Structure 1
Amino acid sequence: MVPLLAGGLVAVALGVYGRVHTPTGFAVGPAGFSGPLAMKAWLTTGAFLLAFVQVGSALVMYGRIPVPRPPAWIGGLHRWSGRAAFLLTIPVAFHCLYALGLQYDVARVLVHSLLGCFFYGVFVAKMLALPRRGLPAWGLPVLGGLAFTALVGLWLTSSLWFFTAIGVRL
């Protein structure tokens, strides 16, 4: 219960901060990108692609993709692709929260804001659940699946929108 409560608190805290904080309109410089939206779209796309590595490696680790001998490096691939995906989301989340805040006047943006809060809440719950003994066998896969689903939703409501509405550019 502790990981779920902590994750819920993180999600709510991010949402409350995003709502009560006065957006600055600027947070992260878009080093190497044409602007902050392009930076967010490309970093989220990187995390989105790494999320598929996460799912594939988890399926191999849990025996859902049968391989004669799972490679010894599959656990490392899972851990490092997850770390990299999470790190790619940090400047995006910082910019979204600090510069834009939680917005609710456009349905796509509201869904995106809520998914962002949910993603970090689920991530915290999953990380806190990892070292716990006695966790049901389905616990980590469910939390991982929720994090994956939230990240896919974030990509659909941000990067895909950017690439289709604005265009593909760095």
Structure 2
Amino acid sequence: MAAPARAGTSDARPGAAALPGTTARPAAPTDDDGAWTFEGPAHAAARPTPPALRPGPLVVAVALGTMVSVGLGVYGRVHEPALVAINVAGFSSGTAAKSWLGTAAFALALVQLGSARRMHRGGGRVAAGLHRWSGRAAVLLTVPVAVHCLYALGYQDTTVRVLVHSLAGCAVYGAFVAKMLVLGRPGGPRWAVPVLGALLFVVLTALWLTSSLWFFTTSGPTL
């Protein structure tokens, strides 16, 4: 015959009903595997604290990008348009070269958009490498275009199309500088790089619509 349990003690497992004349020990919290501990779930014992947000680098990057855009606009405004620029080999005119190079840059911007979407879904190293190199190539293709616009034409506002093109041309390099300065900076808002990347894509699209597409619709796809 089993000995009666002593008062104030219990042989019951936590959460089980107490026997007459005994005191049940309170149930302890359990983790996902059912193992209990009075210190709480084992998987919640130590979690890394997320880094504190630091808006300073983002503010500085946006300020520097704005200065770049304004500086390009001021130069284009005060500079006397030369009306001629160095032609790229293989093209009949500087305008044709600018239109085709701008189209190639816009195509690479579409690659940027697709690779960024793939990276957001866990695309891995291939998508990341494609995103980086397509962006670098797109920026390099815009350099002759910017030189032609600033040196040969300058900042103009004769029509709505020309005004939008001038504003977008100045903004594209400001957005690029701001994005590059924010990229890889720890502690910044997670939305900063996607927003600046979207802004860069929007202004580059505006450039293509007001320049390359306009040229192709008025003069045809000529070299």
TM-score, with structure 1 as normaliser: 0.94
Task: Specify the alignment match of 2:74 in structure 1.
Answer: 16
**Correspondent of 1:82 among 135, 139, 143:** 135
Which contiguous aligned blocks of 4+ residues in structure 1 show a shift greater than 2 angstroms?
Answer: 69-72
Once the two structures are overlaid, the 10-residue window that deviates more, 126-135 or 69-78, is 69-78
* Max Rg structure: 2
Distance 2:154 2:186 in 1: 37
Once the two structures are overlaid, the 10-residue window that deviates more, 98-107 or 24-33, is 24-33
Question: What are the within-5 Å matches in structure 2 for residues 63-142 of structure 1?
Answer: 63=121, 70-142=123-195
**Correspondent of 1:161 among 214, 219, 222:** 214
* 1:73-105 CA-partner distances (Å, limit 9, x unpaired): 111100000000000000000110011000011
The alpha-carbon deviation at position 15 of structure 1 amounts to 0.3
Distance 1:152 1:105 in 2: 21
**Letter in structure 2 aligned against 1:44:** G
**Letter in structure 2 aligned against 1:98:** Y
Once the two structures are overlaid, the 10-residue window that deviates more, 69-78 or 103-112, is 69-78
Distance 1:159 1:119 in 2: 16
Secondary structure, aligned partner of 1:73:
helix
Q: Structure 1: any 5+ residue segments left out of the alignment?
A: 64-68
The alpha-carbon deviation at position 72 of structure 1 amounts to 2.5
**Correspondent of 2:119 among 57, 61, 68:** 61
- How many aligned residue pairs are there? 165
Secondary structure, aligned partner of 1:103:
coil
Q: Structure 2: any 5+ residue segments left out of the alignment?
A: 1-58
**Correspondent of 2:104 among 38, 46, 52:** 46
The alpha-carbon deviation at position 4 of structure 1 amounts to 0.2
* 1:2-32 CA-partner distances (Å, limit 9, x unpaired): 1100000000000000000111111222311
Distance 1:78 1:12 in 2: 28
Higher helix share: 1
Percent of pairs with identical residues? 60
TM-score, with structure 2 as normaliser: 0.72
Distance 1:143 1:83 in 2: 16
- Kindly indicate whether residue 87 of structure 2 is the aligned counterpart of residue 29 of structure 1: yes
Distance 2:110 2:88 in 1: 26
The alpha-carbon deviation at position 70 of structure 1 amounts to 2.2
Distance 1:89 1:166 in 2: 21
Task: Specify the alignment match of 2:28 in structure 1.
Answer: none
**Letter in structure 1 aligned against 2:105:** A
Secondary structure, aligned partner of 2:170:
helix
